[in-house]
Amino acid sequence: AVYKMAPNTITADLTDDSTGSMITHTPGGPMEIIFSFDTTGSMSSCLAEVRKQVNHIIQRLFMDIPSLKVGVIAHGDYCDATTYYVTKQIDFTNDITALCDFVENTGGSGGGDYAECYELVLQKVRTSFDWTPGSQKSLVMIGDAIPHEPNYPANKGNINWRTETKKLYEELGVKIYGVQCQDNVDSSKFFKQISSQTGGKHLKLAEFQTIIDMMMAICYREHGVEYFEAYEKEVREREGKGMRGELTKMFDALRDPDSHDATDEAMTPIIKRKKKSTPKKAPRKFQMSPKVTPKVTVKTATTTPKLKVVKMTPKTLRVVKRSPMKLYPSSTKIAKIPRHNRENVAEIHFSSATLAWSPWKPVSNILEFRSIYSMKQNQSRSKSFLYELAVQTKPYTRRFPVYIKLATRCLHSTNGALRMYINNDEIREQLENVEKQGCKLFARCLEIKRPVTCYGRKFTNGQDLKKFLVKSYDYAWNLKSMKRSEARNVVQCGVVISRGSE
C-alpha cells in the first residue's frame, strides 16, 4: 500500500487492489475496537479470566482513552444454535455497565468439530456493527481453531473467510489482531494471514492469565506509541526481574514494525509464474576513432582597474531584538492555571515523568515503608528525596497518586520521613482506610542530586520542585501544602481512596 498525506486525513491507496478501494481515517478521531471471543469448551478458561477483571479493564481504558468505544462478539459454532447460541454481540458503546453485564452474563458454548464459525464472525463484524466513518478501527479475534470453508454444509451462506478479511480491510479499514490460544499449525496459518493482510499483529497466547495485559496493550498501541510504552513500563515494574517470557514476547511483537515473514506458509495457494526468456543481444563491435590533437589556446593577461569601495551607513540603524520562542508557559501563567487532580493525571502527562523516578514498589504493610529505600553506608544526607504514594484499587488497574512528601534523607530508619507518614494522624487514617478496603499501596522516590529541569524550568533543590508540583497538581492527602484542613474526598473504581470533604 502507498500512503498519501492530505491536510486532515491519512489516505491509504490500495494500488494492488483491482477495485481501487480507499481507506481513510482521521487523525485524533474516535477509536473503535471489537473483541471477538471463541466461547467453546477449550476457551472457557480464557473467558473466565476476562470476567474476573472486565470491570476494571473497561474503566481504566475509558479513563485513559476518552474517545474509545468498545464492541464485543461471542461465538460458538453452527451446531450450538439449538443448545447454546451461534453468536451474541453488543454494538459499540462507552457504557461501562452495559459492557460488563454482557461479558459477565454471556455463558460458554459447546462447539462441534475442530473448526469454528470464524468466517461468520468476520462477516458480522463487517455488516452488523455501526462503524463510525473516519474512526480508527480494530478487531481483536481471540480463538484456538480455524474457520469453516465455503463448502461446509452448515455454512448456509457459503461465507469465505478470505473474502471477508479482504472486505474488512479494503472497505472499512479494519485492522485485525489475531490472538492464537493454542499451538496448532493450521490455526497459526489462519491467524497469521488475517493479521498480515490487514496490517495487524499475530500474537500467541500460551497462558490465559496474560489475556488481560494483551487486550490492554493492543488498545494502548492503537491509541499511540507513548501510551503503549507507558503501559509496557508499568507492567515491567509490576512484574520485576521475574517477568514472564510470554509478556516479553508479546510486547516485542507489538513494538516491532509490521513486517511480512516470507518463510511463513500461507493458507491461500501461491501460483508460481515462469519468467519470460529473452534472447541475448550480440555484443557491440567498437571501432577506434582517429587520433585528434587538441587545440591549445593561450590566454593573455589583462589588467582590470581596482574598484573604489564606498561604505554606506543608514541614517538610523534599527536593531530588532526578538525574544526566543517559549516552549513552556511562564511562572505567572502557571499560577493562573487551575490545579489538576493528581489521581486523574496519566503518567505520560505528568510534568516530571521524564525525571529519574524509581519504579513503583508495592507496600503490603505500613511498616514496610521503612525498608523500601535503604540508605547505603557513608551516603551523604545533604541530598533531598521526593516521595509519591499511590493507591491501587484492584490488580491490573491504574495506580492513583494521592500524596507527595519531601525528605532531606533517604527513608531508612524510624527517624526518616516515613515515620512522619505513620505519625501523622490524618495520613494514618487514610492508610488504614485503603488497607481495610483491600487496596494496595505503592511508593516511589526521586533523588535530587543536582539541579533538575522540569517543564522547561531548572530547580536547584527539592523544595522548589515540590512547590512547583503542588501548584500544578492537587494531591488528595496533602493538607498544609494545599491550604486546607482535611483531605479531599476521592472515589475511584467504586472505592473510596481518600476520605475527606466532598
**Phi, psi (5° rounding) for residue 126?**
-80, -35
d(CA 489, CA 501): 5
DSSP-derived secondary structure letter, 172: I
Which residues are paired to 146 by β-bridges?
Answer: none
264 band by pLDDT with thresholds 50, 70 and 90: very low
Q: For the chain, what are the domain ranges?
A: 2-255, 336-498
Most confident of 140-144, 285-289, 458-462: 140-144
411 alpha-carbon distance from chain centroid: 34
pLDDT in tens, 67-82: 999 999 999 999 988 8
**Phi, psi (5° rounding) for residue 37?**
-115, 130
**Cα–Cα distances in Å, from 272 out to 114, 269, 275?**
31, 10, 9
The better pLDDT of the pair 357, 140 is held by 140
Residue that the C-alpha cell 490472538 belongs to: 179
Picking from 126, 136, 133, the residue whose alpha carbon sits closest to that of residue 165 is: 126
Pick the CATH number of 2-255 from 3.40.50.150, 3.20.20.100, 3.40.50.410, 3.10.20.600: 3.40.50.410
Which residues are paired to 25 by β-bridges?
Answer: 10
d(CA 357, CA 64): 21
Is residue 399 a contact partner of residue 392, using CB atoms and an 8 Å limit? yes
Range with the lowest mean pLDDT among 1-5, 177-181, 232-236, 420-424?
1-5
d(CA 161, CA 117): 9
What's the average model confidence in pLDDT over 476-480? 87
d(CA 372, CA 441): 12
322 band by pLDDT with thresholds 50, 70 and 90: low
Which residues does 374 contact at the CB level (< 8 Å), separation at least 6? 410, 412
d(CA 41, CA 79): 13
Most confident of 112-116, 234-238, 304-308, 323-327: 234-238
Which residues does 442 contact at the CB level (< 8 Å), separation at least 6? 360, 361, 362, 363, 389, 390, 391, 392, 399
d(CA 122, CA 160): 9
pLDDT in tens, 104-135: 899 888 877 788 999 999 999 999 999 999 89
d(CA 61, CA 139): 16
Read off the pTM.
0.58
Range with the lowest mean pLDDT among 215-224, 225-234, 260-269?
260-269
